């Protein structure tokens, strides 16, 4: 499964797809990036005259790149991935936000696998801006179910 195949298997579509490209994928983690389009609807009201990306959206970007992409890779590697039949549920998240992300800003997300067992994946995630500054960091866990009827 290629990096493009992994993105194609994500159960999201625009405007809720927060993965542009995967740079590296291995058993131990993922690196990928996303550019937040200035036209994103959430910027219209967060904040007036000075839009920034909401923390919940930054968390979702970290989850999609750092946990879901890695989960698809790991399920495929162990042979239990069913194409276009994945269900995902975030089970816990703990994030610390350090810098704002502005419209049109490109971010790079890296994840490091803490554990993957019984289809539960826990990762340490970090998001950096294009200047290499740490934007946010934390831990995210998710459960995966591969189902032919999904």
Quick one: pLDDT band at residue 150, thresholds 50, 70, 90? very low
pLDDT of residue 80: 66
Q: What is the pTM of this model?
A: 0.93
Q: Is the pLDDT of residue 84 over 80?
A: no
Give mean pLDDT, residues 39-64. 94
Domains of the chain: total: 1
Q: Is the pLDDT of residue 3 over 60?
A: yes
Residue 65: CATH number of its domain: 3.10.129.10
What is the average pLDDT value for the chain, to the nearest integer? 92
Closest-CA residue to 98 (of 130, 141, 129): 129
pLDDT of residue 78: 79
In order of 2, 25, 89, 102, 137, the CA distances from 29 in angstroms are 15, 6, 19, 26, 15
Contact 38, 104 (CB under 8 A): yes
Write out the residue range of the structural domain in which residue 99 sits: 3-146
């Amino acid at each position: 499964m290629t990096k493009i195949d992994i993105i194609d298997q994500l159960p999201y579509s625009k405007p809720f797809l927060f993965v542009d490209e995967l740079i590296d994928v291995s058993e131990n983690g993922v690196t990928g990036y996303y550019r937040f389009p200035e036209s994103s609807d959430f910027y219209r009201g967060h904040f007036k005259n000075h839009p920034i990306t909401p923390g919940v959206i930054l968390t979702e970007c970290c989850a999609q790149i750092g946990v879901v992409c890695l989960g698809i890779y790991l399920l495929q590697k162990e042979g239990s991935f069913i194409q276009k039949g994945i269900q995902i549920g975030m089970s816990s998240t703990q994030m610390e936000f350090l810098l704002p992300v502005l419209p049109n800003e490109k971010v790079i997300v890296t994840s490091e696998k803490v554990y993957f067992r019984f289809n539960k994946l826990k990762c340490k995630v970090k998001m950096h801006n294009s200047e290499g500054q740490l934007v946010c960091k934390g831990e995210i866990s998710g459960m995966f179910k591969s189902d032919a009827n999904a």
